[in-house]
Each structure stands twice: as C-alpha cells, then as structure tokens.
Amino acid sequence: MISLKVSSSIHSISDFSVEFLGTGTSGGVPMIACKCEVCLSSNKKDNRLRSSILIRSAQASVVIDTTPDFRYQMLRSKVEHLDAVVFTHSHKDHIAGLDDIRAYNFFSQRPMPLFANEETAFALKRDFYYAFAENKYPGIPELDLNVQDGEPFRVADLFFIPIHVRHLNMGVSGYRIGDFTYVTDANHIEEKELEKIRGSKILVINALRQEKHLSHFTLQEAIDLAASLNIPHTYFTHISHQMGLHEQVNAQLPKGMQLAHDGLVIEVKNTAVA
C-alpha cells in the first residue's frame, strides 16, 4: 500500500471502523500492586491496556501508537496486516512497542511507513537507533519514517488531518479522519485547532480521572469540551484506575457520551470531505 503526503484540501473520505486496542493510561488497569476496587474488578471493561486504536477501511489498516502492549494487542485483535503506524507523541506508553513491527516487515517484505511530528520522530530515532543505523543488524525493524509538520497526509483511502494539542508543555498530534476525531494526552487545545474538530460526528478524547491533573483533561473537562463542540457521539479514553468503575461512571454520563473500553468497535459512516 502506498502512503503519500498530500497538500490538496479536498479529498473524499471512505467509511471505516475504529477498534479500541487499549483505553488505559500509562500504567494500565489494573495497575501493578494496586488493590483498589477498579484494579480488582472482575468486569473486563475495567481492564485497560495502554491507549491505541486500529482504523480499518476498505483499503488500509492503520494503528495509532504502538504501546508497550502492542504485540498482545495485535494478537488479541488478529491483525494480520498493517499499512502504516501514526503516532501522537513520544511518551513511552505510546511508542514502546515499535520493535514488534518487524513481524509485519517479515510477512509484507517492505518497510513500515511511520508518520510522526518532529519531536516524536526525534525520539523514535533515539530510542530505536538500531532501526535507523547505516549498517543494520539482520531482523531488526524496517521503518520508513515520515515527519509530518502539521500538513494533512494520506494512507490509501484514509486522509489524516493533524490537530495540534498541548499535553502540559508537550505538543501532541490529534487526528481528524473524515467525521472522526481522535485526541489523547491533552489538557489544552487552541481555538484554531478546535475548528478542525468542529463538525465531527464522533470524538474520542482523553479523560484521565475525575480529579484535576496537570497534563490531562479530567472527565468533566472532557465532557464540557465535547458539549461546547456539539459532538453527537463522544468516547473517553486514556482512563486511569482513579476514574472509578466503568459501569458506575458510564451510568452518570450525559447522553451521547460514554467511556470507551478495550475491544470496542465503532463504525464511522462518513459524509464529510477533508
């Protein structure tokens, strides 16, 4: 599958599905050594791997972020082919699983296209230096790193519009694909970037917990943001064990809003053009 960076502002958008590969925060849920009611819950919806999604269209399969759980996520969801990986930012809970891309290299016999902002690209080259070395050891990941500077890009029939958000002092890339927008690890979005989200039918946005946090939206902040944008369907992700039990929190959310959970699949029927 050929991945091309494009500059044109008008592109048709295909329908696609989104699977939540993980909906947890950096420590996952249950968290190691924790005995809170969420970490001890028998409800599978309270078990959360690190945050990532899989987008499947008629022509492409794309993962956003390769978490420390990437290998298990791919096995659990039976993902036999990937056309590209798109990154949000360089924190370890979003990039640590990149080495396992080599399995896809083996079966596809081609480098894996990666899309990342400049800061994330720098971190990938630093942390996975051996994959970018001039003289490479056999069997390491084969990567085709594309540095996106905020301009839209295409992977087959999927057209990505980057959305610049702030994670305290770090720049993070959210993405709009047709009528769907994905934003994780954020606590501030400028008005000009909010304009890129307006009109989305589905918004996925991080909501770490109910108490204030220095670098993530709280649940109420995420609710207020989605309401201000008049989004019909909102799913909250990047959830910590401090949020509370899945079913109890979900029951209190406004109409059209819910906590996402691992394994949830949503269908995006697009009417928008990018």
pLDDT, tens digit (0-9, with 9 covering 90-100), for 131-177: 999 988 889 999 999 998 899 999 999 999 999 999 999 999 999 99
Positive or negative, the Cα torsion across 37, 258, 180, 169?
negative
What is the rounded distance in angstroms from the CA atom of residue 210 to the CA atom of residue 195? 26
pLDDT of 271 higher than 80: no
Single-letter residue type at 102? R
Quick check: helix, strand or coil at residue 248? helix
Fold topology of 11-268: Metallo-beta-lactamase; Chain A (3.60.15)
H runs (alpha helix) in 115-171: 118-127
Share of the chain above pLDDT 90, in %: 89
Give the lowest-confidence range in 12-26, 67-81, 110-124: 12-26
Between the CA of residue 169 and those of 172, 184, 187, 215, what are the distances in Å? Answer: 10, 15, 10, 8
Share of the chain above pLDDT 70, in %: 94
What is the rounded distance in angstroms from the CA atom of residue 88 to the CA atom of residue 90? 7
**Half-sphere exposure of 27 toward its Cβ, with a 13 Å CA cutoff?**
11
Q: What is the pLDDT of residue 14?
A: 82
pLDDT digits (tens, 9 = 90+) for 218-242: 999 999 999 999 999 999 999 999 9
pLDDT of 6 higher than 60: no
pLDDT of 268 higher than 70: yes
pLDDT digits (tens, 9 = 90+) for 121-130: 999 999 999 9
Q: What is the pLDDT of residue 42?
A: 98
Backbone angles phi, psi at 247, to 5 degrees: -65, -40
pLDDT digits (tens, 9 = 90+) for 57-89: 999 999 999 999 999 999 999 999 999 999 999
User: pTM of the prediction?
Assistant: 0.93
Which residue is it, tokens 């519009």?
161
pLDDT of 13 higher than 80: no
Quick check: helix, strand or coil at residue 33? coil
pLDDT of 11 higher than 70: no
